[in-house]
Structure 1
Amino acid sequence: MATVGLSESMFERGEICGACFQIKCVDDLRWCIPGTSIIVSVTNFCAPNYGFASDGGGKCNPPNKHFVLPIEAFEKIAIWKATNMPVHYMRIKCRKEGGIRFTISGSAMSQGAGDVTAVKIKGSRTGWLDMGRNWGQNWHVNANLQNQALSFEVTSSDSMTVISYNVAPKDWRFGQTFEGKQFET
């Protein structure tokens, strides 16, 4: 699955990171590859360039809805010479391998809707604590949870919730990554 950057009008201040879309090239018989589409996952932001008009080089400027695709993904739906093509896109459920990964700094990756809207953490000596979003899918909590096994509750934008108990053992260290359960689709 390819990863993409989104323009400001679609990026939702990073809250859409992890979401998946199906994209196909439309309305150009010369450059589009008919009958093809790709599945992509949002991982990056395409910053506006206000030095250019939205219709003349500032493709990521509001109000444009723009996907920045890697060359390999673009070439599956259009001829590369085209460089910029109208597309039809549709939000879809993600299908990712393995379980959700938790890095002690607070990052989580998921499937299902793909974008996470809420995360809770529970130490072996605490109740469930709401985590706050830093940016994208980076979450934080203002609590000392060292020397405690950690459990996570993750809720996606389609209101599915998955709980991973005791994902990190009590001797976890900052920078380590642990794998929990995955959303069932």
Structure 2
Amino acid sequence: KTLILIYPLFMNLFLICLSFIFLSAVRPIGADHGGWDTGHATFYGAMDGGETMGGACGYGNLFEQGYGLETAALSTALFNSGLSCGACFQILCFNDKQWCAPGYITITATNFCPPNYAKPNDNGGWCNPPLKHFDLSMPMFVRITKDYHAGIVPVLFRRVPCHKKGGIRFQMQGNQWTPFVIILNVGGAGDVREVWVKGGGGWSAMTRNWGQVWQTSEKLVGQTVSFSVTTSDGRTVQSLNVVPPNWQFGQTFEGSQF
């Protein structure tokens, strides 16, 4: 009887150890914070990535802004009403011997994968709540799978720091009455939660319009402009006098970086 009781306990401990060894083995190099979670991934568009341009974060042409094809549209559960725009994730195909390829990818969240309530969560409604799903560009999808015909694969994913070249970019948009600023190329946590702007007067808080498009009622035309950017981890970086007084709408200026 004692042996009968001990055997299941031993097997449970063995399976726990085996799981720990597996997760350690697949731990991506450079992932220095956050934990693994499970989800699924699909792709949209073709290999040239044309269909992935633009998107719900407001970044526009992803090639011009430095994001390229290393991007993904996030499901409702991950997109967080746009708060996750700019966040970076490592993703690897998991637990599918037929389709999974070795290695992992690192992507930036640039778009929203809308739910499709006309289809069940396990058959077409991949981005329905509460599913954690990544709709990748096709080139990213084929890097973690053996063939794009896989369609949908289970994945492990985790948040990682964003490593961006150069400083944070501020793209000036809108009009003289309601200036908009698109915050681009943010390193560190990547997802901007608070922006302050300083023109001719003191500092004032900007409001999120959508994605990473921020607006203000301050009159910035003809002013030297400074920005203070805070990300989800609470870190703040200031870019003082980054925009000269003769700036024009449509121009982009590069400031400091995390």
TM (norm. structure 2) is 0.69
Q: Which has the higher strand share?
A: 1
State the shift of 1:158 in Å: 1.1
The counterpart of 1:108, out of the listed 172, 183, 190, is 183
> What is the rounded CA distance, in whole Å, between the counterparts of 1:139 and 1:58 in structure 2?
31
Contact 1:102 1:179 in 2 (8 A): yes
The counterpart of 1:40, out of the listed 107, 115, 140, is 107
User: In the alignment, what sits opposite 2:79?
Assistant: 11
Matched, 1:122 2:190: no
Matched, 1:157 2:232: yes
User: In the alignment, what sits opposite 2:118?
Assistant: 51
User: In the alignment, what sits opposite 1:26?
Assistant: 94
> What is the rounded CA distance, in whole Å, between the counterparts of 2:193 and 2:94 in structure 1?
32
User: Which consecutive residues of structure 2, in runs of 5 or more, have no partner in the other structure?
Assistant: 1-66, 174-180
Aligned residue for 1:69, secondary structure, equals: strand
> What is the rounded CA distance, in whole Å, between the counterparts of 1:178 and 1:5 in structure 2?
26
User: In the alignment, what sits opposite 1:99?
Assistant: 167
User: In the alignment, what sits opposite 1:63?
Assistant: 130
Larger radius of gyration: 2
Question: What is the CA deviation profile of residues 127-184 of structure 1, one whole-angstrom value per residue up to 9, with x for unaligned ones?
Answer: 111000111111011111211100000011111111111111111111111111111x
> What is the rounded CA distance, in whole Å, between the counterparts of 1:67 and 1:145 in structure 2?
38
Question: What is the CA deviation profile of residues 2-22 of structure 1, one whole-angstrom value per residue up to 9, with x for unaligned ones?
Answer: 110001111011111000000
> What is the rounded CA distance, in whole Å, between the counterparts of 2:100 and 2:204 in structure 1?
49
Contact 1:15 1:135 in 2 (8 A): no
Question: What is the CA deviation profile of residues 35-63 of structure 1, one whole-angstrom value per residue up to 9, with x for unaligned ones?
Answer: x0000000000011111111111111111
Q: Which amino acid aligns with 1:135?
A: W
Matched, 1:88 2:156: yes
State the shift of 1:33 in Å: 1.1
Q: Which amino acid aligns with 2:111?
A: N
Matched, 1:133 2:208: yes
State the shift of 1:90 in Å: 0.3
- How many residues get paired? 181
State the shift of 1:65 in Å: 0.9
TM (norm. structure 1) is 0.95
Q: Which has the higher helix share?
A: 2
Aligned residue for 1:104, secondary structure, equals: strand
User: Which consecutive residues of structure 1, in runs of 5 or more, have no partner in the other structure?
Assistant: none
